[in-house]
Amino acid sequence: MVAASLNFYSIIIVSLIYQTSAAPISPATKPDITCSSAQLIAPGQDSLVYQYKTEVKLSVANGQYDLKTEITASVEIKSLGDCNYALQLRNVKVTETKDENENRVTSTANAQRDLENLVVRFRWIDGFLVEVEADSLAKIDHVNFVKGVLSTLQVYSPVATDSETVVREEDVLGVCTTVYRYSQKDGVTQVKKSKDLTTCSKDKLHLSSSPILTSLLGPLMEEVFTAKTRYICQTEIRDKKIQSVKCKTIEMDADDTRKSTQKNQDDDDSAEEDFNANFDDNDDDEISSKLISIKQELKLQSSESVSVDENAVKNPVRQTLQFVPTASFDQSNEAVSTLVAKIQGLLKAENWNEFAASQFVEITNELRRMDKANLQAFKDKSELKHLVPAFLNTVYSHDPDASLLNFNADTLTFTNPSSVYYLDNPSTELVDQVVQGASRLTTQQVVDFVGVAARILKTYKSRQDNIKDADNKIKQFKQAISRFLSNESGAKNDTKTVVLSAYAQLGLYDDQVMSLAIDDTAPLEVRYHALNAIRYISSVYLDDTEQYDIRQTLQFGLLRQLENKANKNAVRIWTFQALYSPFIYDSEISYLFGGGLEETLQEIVDEPLNQVNGFIWSALKYSSLDPLCPLRGLAARIRVSHNNRKQFLEQAALSSRQIRFEIPLRKNYQAFIDISVIFENDRVVPSFLSAKLAFDGVRRETLRLPWVDVAIISENLDWNFADYFLRLDPLNRNLNDDDKSRLKTNLPSKLKQHQDTYDAKKEDPNPSVHLYLRLFGTDVRAKDITDKVQDILRSSLRKFIGNQILTRLNELAGKDPIFRIPLEIGAVSGAANGLALYKSAQVAALVDLTTDLRNTQNDAGLGIYSMTSRSVLSFSLTVQREVSSPLTTVGETVEIGILSYVPFEYKTEVNNQGRTREFNLLKSNSKLFAMDFQYATRTSDGFELVPNRKAPSIDPSCTPSAFYRTLGVRACLELNPFRSIQFGKRNSYPITVTVNRDPSIKNWRLGWRFNAQEAPQYEVIIEKVGTNQSYPGLGVSATNDGNKFDIKVLTGIKSFNVK
């Protein structure tokens, strides 16, 4: 009976909420019948005044001390009638405490004043806060803070007889499973609630290089750096007024995997502990180093009249009580000149320590907190040379305002195009500049501009609440770039492929796409991108009439393409994939088009096995096994009606097909690798080769979304491949007729058949190779790579890669250090008091590639190659947790730094007598690997490092002395067990691995059969050059005088002769 009453009561409450949600929050002119007697301010009263206090506390530096921020304010609430209210904060004060040192924060006075001027209207019905209204110009951070105050006033059904209730409640933390318990004594109703924060569904703003990486690494980061917490509150109600509210976070046990909705003895015990928690102000219990402790307290002061101007909300924007995530932080108090000085102190690698890369990350994070004017001043610092772009590239992708510095609206160029791929939330100003610039594009600017601009528009739409406005901007962009697809524009192939690639990214289509797809004279890569654009058509940009006409035109046009055997096999297969895309093959309209498509496909697969239907069979095979594939039903029907069951088994080795590898990684988690290869009927080299890597089981939003999607489209490349692999005439003109005949005879029959075919042919005309690369769903590269592929085939892959590396090293020699943040994940979500809870992890690399190279080797490989490297490698992992807003900042940063510095010299010499290799360590004591960690704090005073405490040192562990006597080198490991940092359940310690060499050794020599002026003929493994004869090396030395041999055995410890 009680349960039935509760359900009925809940239905009534929900219905009232829906009825009142459409009504504006304003002073009432008529009584609202939906507003019951349970009101926040009792009838006949005008207002209430509460004293509010919230506290944020962190245990930092592995528990060395605590940081605490406290915000107090007077909360004035004015009744507008019929459960409508207006709220304004007064006397906002912020104090910070570091251990026992407390100080008043005055640096954020402007933010405090703005917060005090904010007026928020809300609706409170029977304990529910059903709606919030703020002015459209109000700062999001300030509205979020007020939502944190309002959340304390929310209680569900304050009826003492209900005992305990479990609900899904929405407040500033999101929608969470909440347990309510009620009691009544001496006219006071006490409401206690407990939220398990692991059950909360809330909005987050992801700050990362890719949403996929966030989904994959986010849970791991939460597990390692975040405590499992509950949020509990205690509310006292007397005389129909909320007298006081006390809330705080408490840490759950690490092994507690219970769900809040489960009911067993353990849950009862845990719930009892939560409801009996101590809310005493003097509760100074130690907190976990992973817990961010939040406390809130609200006390009723008076019921006197207050001056809250509800009409200050001139342009109201309706919101829920949930936190609205935003990436705004307090302004950095570092001067640009200070940052420049820090960078200049790290320009020389000999000044680096383990935290060199970490210091660069610190500078980057400070730049991200600077305004546009300071960033422009930093950009103008010419004395930093190449390092200014390195820093700003990471800022461009982080701050929407700073991203404007990355784009030159006059020349339509991006300073760093790759940073756009990491831009999470493009500003409206940047989007407007891109759309307006597209109308002024020239043919020469298309390749560098269109792909990056399409990425900006795609990201803008995914983040924009006004979808209609985003769609209109994309339509304008399409209208501006569509002219480059016509033949009259004179655009080259690379221009057309870039525009078509942008069409595919945004889901756009026009008639020119179809014209290029069916153009027999168009290059293969252009037709591929045109058909790829058809595969990804979005109906959003088409009205119903256009959808019908375009779908019909595409179906009949592509069907003719598929049936036309004069087309290349690749074009027919791409046409098959485009035909059965969701836009054309729609199950909802299958009665109009499905029959014709299936009949045509049935006829093709019934033909004798060929390159086209072989690929289609393999694609249908995997479609029938995939429950998520839209072609599953079609594949099943065709397989049932097909008579030749063994047709697929008849495929030859060089046959077009799709292959899938499923690699289980752990329980309910696996990787998918899809490989597609398409051969033409008279060609050995595939005309199309693609590979996709995807994962299943990470999270629902990343299901089967390819991480890497790469495709290579080639034409007329057989001659080059035959030259590389077969080396036969007419490709190798150095062979005589006997050698040709002998080599051909020894070839396998299939290769001999192909070689005989090409013997009568000349070199293939107009070879082409086109690369298409997508990373994490974004087009990164669509480029012609014919020249590079031919360079490989004319020499060797090993030589090509070596030359590319040497060229790149020569370009970097003598330049400033290279700094990159290749991986960064983070998220902004709401804390219980409405402040922004920011967590992030950054992996950075700082590299100095100072290298001297010398190469005198000829085509036969004879000569000298030497390398002198003084390169230094520094890596860092920076983990941050911070409660931040323009009002206050308190947080902790953990930095883990790694340094590797082993300068060396390497030389190899090849002559007619043999080969020698010499290697030398330039320093007698080098750091092969050094890892250390340190802590830092962030408050309103800025970023401050915490000095590491001195710890006892222990003797290092080294390799055996016999090894040192033999080779003159040893490695030592030094581990400090007195300092540690915990990642999850594991402890990590500072580690240093050094490499020491005997100072008397000049170098080590490795070689065979060589004669040198200072050495006899050798068959030697390794020799130490420059030492005395006590440790001569390791190997064998042999000299001869006629028929007499003198053999010397080098053991590393001593030598002896054998006559």
Model confidence band, residue 14 (pLDDT cutoffs 50, 70, 90): very low
Indicate whether 29 pLDDT > 70.
no
Report how far residue 361's alpha carbon sits from residue 844's, in angstroms, rounded to the nearest whole number. Answer: 7
DSSP H helices in 493-585: 493-506, 511-517, 524-535, 544-563, 569-579
- Tally of CB atoms within 10 A around 6: 14
**Around 389, how many Cα atoms within 13 Å sit in the side-chain half-sphere?**
13
pLDDT in tens, 826-859: 778 888 888 888 888 888 999 888 888 788 877 6
Indicate whether 816 pLDDT > 80.
no
State both tokens at 581.
């895309």
DSSP H helices in 178-329: 211-225, 265-275
pLDDT confidence of residue 902: 92
Task: Kindly list the strands in the beta sheet with 1003-1008, ordered across the sheet, starting from the edge strand earlier in the chain.
Answer: 851-855, 863-869, 904-911, 914-921, 1003-1008, 1018-1025, 1034-1041, 1044-1051, 1055-1058
Report how far residue 846's alpha carbon sits from residue 395's, in angstroms, rounded to the nearest whole number. Answer: 17
What top-level class would CATH report for the domain 817-999? mainly beta
- The better pLDDT of the pair 94, 978 is held by 94
pLDDT confidence of residue 295: 92
Phi/psi zone of residue 766: left (φ > 0), alpha (ψ -120 to 50 degrees), beta?
left
| CA distance readout (Å), 345 to 341, 488, 819, 942 | 6, 57, 15, 21
Residue in 836, 652, 655, 697 with CA at minimum distance from that of residue 203: 836
- The better pLDDT of the pair 686, 598 is held by 686
Model confidence band, residue 901 (pLDDT cutoffs 50, 70, 90): very high
Average pLDDT estimate for 936-953: 82
Spatial CB neighbours of 600, under 8 Å, sequence gap ≥ 6? 559, 562, 563
Indicate whether 1057 pLDDT > 70.
no
Indicate whether 1024 pLDDT > 70.
no
Model confidence band, residue 615 (pLDDT cutoffs 50, 70, 90): confident
pLDDT in tens, 999-1017: 877 777 765 544 444 444 4
Contact call for residues 247 and 296 (beta carbons, < 8 A): yes
- The one-letter code for the residue type at 29 is T
Indicate whether 750 pLDDT > 80.
no
pLDDT confidence of residue 965: 75
Spatial CB neighbours of 682, under 8 Å, sequence gap ≥ 6? 757
Residue in 26, 274, 230, 233 with CA at minimum distance from that of residue 148: 233
pLDDT confidence of residue 686: 87
State both tokens at 156.
């569900």
- The better pLDDT of the pair 4, 672 is held by 672
| CATH number of the structural domain 2-28+36-319 | 2.30.230.10
- The better pLDDT of the pair 1032, 706 is held by 706
Q: Which helix (H) or strand (E) holds 710?
A: strand 708-715
pLDDT confidence of residue 814: 60
Model confidence band, residue 473 (pLDDT cutoffs 50, 70, 90): very high
State both tokens at 414.
């991006």
Contact call for residues 40 and 242 (beta carbons, < 8 A): yes
- The better pLDDT of the pair 232, 16 is held by 232
pLDDT in tens, 382-419: 777 677 877 887 777 777 777 888 888 889 988 888 77
Indicate whether 700 pLDDT > 50.
no
Model confidence band, residue 813 (pLDDT cutoffs 50, 70, 90): low
pLDDT confidence of residue 1015: 44
pLDDT in tens, 77-136: 998 888 899 999 999 999 888 877 777 777 677 888 889 999 999 988 888 888 899 998
Model confidence band, residue 761 (pLDDT cutoffs 50, 70, 90): low
- The better pLDDT of the pair 17, 137 is held by 137
Contact call for residues 838 and 881 (beta carbons, < 8 A): yes
- Tally of CB atoms within 10 A around 891: 24
Report how far residue 948's alpha carbon sits from residue 963's, in angstroms, rounded to the nearest whole number. Answer: 36
Model confidence band, residue 868 (pLDDT cutoffs 50, 70, 90): confident
Mean pLDDT, the chain, integer: 78
pLDDT confidence of residue 25: 60
Model confidence band, residue 9 (pLDDT cutoffs 50, 70, 90): very low
